[in-house]
Structure 1
Amino acid sequence: MTNTIITGGSRGIGAATVRRAAEAGHAICFSYGRDRASADAVVAEAEALGAKAIAVQADMGSEVGVLSLFAACDEAFGAPDVLVNNAGVSGRNGPIVDLPADDLERLLAVNVAGYVLCCREAVRRMSTKRGGRGGSIVNVGSRAAQLGGAHTWVHYAASKGAVDSLSIGLSIEVAREGIRVNSVRPGLINTEIHANAGMPERIATMGPKLPMGRAGTPEEVANLILWLASDEASYVSGAVIDVGGAR
């Protein structure tokens, strides 16, 4: 059985990835922040699909939270075979000139430091040089890393640029340790992140203007994540793949 850790699995792309992993027969350990009801609902969905799943309340912006998530997986299922780094925050939208320092610190803690620490813990367990059986890491970045997010999310875009660099560099570093590392960059996806950032109308106003005439769905991103995590992508590492509908 494939043991899979997914950070931020209670909603959006994370929840869709939990469901897709459950369909593939994985045992899933996912983190969530505060919404226990949503996390429980996702666990129930995974179990209804015949999978084993546990939800762990953990702050992915702290080493303590990262360690608690991996410890929970170790105890419940054993070492992970797959890590999906998905948990993230956008911070408030607006120009850099109005960005509060505490917003920036929190964003970098979750979107950058949390990803690096999760990768560290995954490599420690997966590396064949350390007695592991290898594995796959998929980092969830954003098209914002290339588009820049001007006037709204430059700070968020910068954090996702770091995810690209992490994925490329780490893929080379662990290529001979049985670990593949890839990144997906979602574009405009119909999730709660827009409303949470104070832009609830963003999907309705921007979607029709995109080349494909619509926003993407979390499931469309999850499908790529699961493919990258699978043996079907056995020679794919260091890739950064856009899921942006031609934008």
Structure 2
Amino acid sequence: MNQVTVITGGSRGIGAATARRLANTGHDVAFAYLRDHDAAASVVADIQAAGRRGVAVPADTTDPDQVTALFDAAAELGEITGLVNNAGVTSPIGPFVDLDPADLRRVVDVNLIGYVLCAQQAARRMSAGAAIVNVSSAAATLGSPGEYIHYAAVKAATDTLTLGLAKELAARGIRVNGVAPGIIRTDIHAVSGVPDRPDSAAGRIPLGRAGEPDEVATAIAWLLGPEASYTTGTVLRVAGGL
């Protein structure tokens, strides 16, 4: 069966690393991105260089119509066999009492509602043998005090989504798992106002360093693949010991 995987937030960071890794292991890839056309084009070029088909779809995953358009574009590549729910945002690091309601709503919209909308589309279109991977965060069990408790809470909801959906879709032969990265060297930290966080936080990571996007992509690829055929409803932690 031809493998066709949808990735959200695929133009940068973990999403881009996952797109490239999956292409190198035989997947055709359709990915959503928000605004960086050059970065998206670069990922498509790398997918094609690996001998696979790639399509970049500008889409806001909080909009149901745009999510439908993303999956329609993916379906043109063939039956959808995988989804990587990866698009995510944080907000400025700071005390819980200073949280701006607009930031709260954006974090919930992108990191939870967007995941639900994409998982719905995937569940409607997938058949036995397909798999979903939700990108969570180690923050879900750490709480992120003094940083972004609301983000941690939403990622805990992601883990619950993973567990519930895994149980609901198991009878159809569709697996659902999650990965929980720790502090990974991507540009998401700039949004929080601490662009050097991967280095400044290294001292509290047991392995003594931040992770790389490829290290998370490897875990995602495993969860999507046949080697993980008896794994569902689990969240694989890729956090350097956090």
Q: Would the TM-score normalized by the shorter structure come out above 0.5?
A: yes
Rounded Cα–Cα distance in structure 2 between residues aligned with 1:187 and 1:35:
25
Kindly indicate whether the alpha-carbon contact (under 8 Å) linking 1:22 and 1:46 is maintained by their aligned counterparts in 2: yes
Of 164-173 and 195-204, more deviation after overlay is shown by: 195-204
Q: Secondary structure at the match of 2:80?
A: coil
Q: Which of residues 212, 217, 223 in structure 1 aligns to 2:218?
A: 223
Q: Secondary structure at the match of 2:71?
A: helix
Q: Find the counterpart in structure 2 of residue 2 from structure 1.
A: 3
Task: For 2:154, give the aligned amino acid.
Answer: S
1:96 shift after superposition: 2.0
Q: Find the counterpart in structure 1 of residue 86 from structure 2.
A: 86
Q: Find the counterpart in structure 1 of residue 54 from structure 2.
A: 53
For structure 1, which runs of at least 5 residues remain unmatched after alignment?
Answer: 127-131
1:92 shift after superposition: 2.1
Rounded Cα–Cα distance in structure 2 between residues aligned with 1:71 and 1:106:
25
Kindly indicate whether the alpha-carbon contact (under 8 Å) linking 1:62 and 1:109 is maintained by their aligned counterparts in 2: no
Q: Secondary structure at the match of 1:174?
A: helix
Q: Find the counterpart in structure 1 of residue 97 from structure 2.
A: 97
Rounded Cα–Cα distance in structure 2 between residues aligned with 1:40 and 1:100:
34
Kindly indicate whether the alpha-carbon contact (under 8 Å) linking 2:91 and 2:191 is maintained by their aligned counterparts in 1: no
Rounded Cα–Cα distance in structure 2 between residues aligned with 1:21 and 1:106:
29
TM-score (norm 1): 0.95
Q: Find the counterpart in structure 2 of residue 42 from structure 1.
A: 43
1:133 shift after superposition: 4.1
**Where does 1:121-200 land on structure 2 (aligned, <5 Å)?**
121-126=121-126, 132-200=127-195
Aligned residues: 241
Rounded Cα–Cα distance in structure 1 between residues aligned with 2:129 and 2:230:
13
1:195 shift after superposition: 1.5
For structure 2, which runs of at least 5 residues remain unmatched after alignment?
Answer: none
Q: Secondary structure at the match of 1:22?
A: helix
Rounded Cα–Cα distance in structure 1 between residues aligned with 2:105 and 2:68:
20
Q: Find the counterpart in structure 1 of residue 109 from structure 2.
A: 109
Kindly indicate whether the alpha-carbon contact (under 8 Å) linking 1:4 and 1:29 is maintained by their aligned counterparts in 2: yes
Task: For 1:42, give the aligned amino acid.
Answer: V
Task: For 2:79, give the aligned amino acid.
Answer: A
Rounded Cα–Cα distance in structure 1 between residues aligned with 2:187 and 2:216:
15
1:157 shift after superposition: 0.5
Kindly indicate whether the alpha-carbon contact (under 8 Å) linking 1:63 and 1:117 is maintained by their aligned counterparts in 2: yes
Rounded Cα–Cα distance in structure 2 between residues aligned with 1:61 and 1:113:
6
Extract structure 1 runs of 4+ deviating beyond 6 A.
none
1:79 shift after superposition: 2.7
Rounded Cα–Cα distance in structure 2 between residues aligned with 1:93 and 1:61:
23
Q: Find the counterpart in structure 1 of residue 233 from structure 2.
A: 238
1:196 shift after superposition: 2.2
- Deviations, residues 200-246 of structure 1 (Å, cap 9, x unaligned): 12111112442111111100000010000001100000011100111
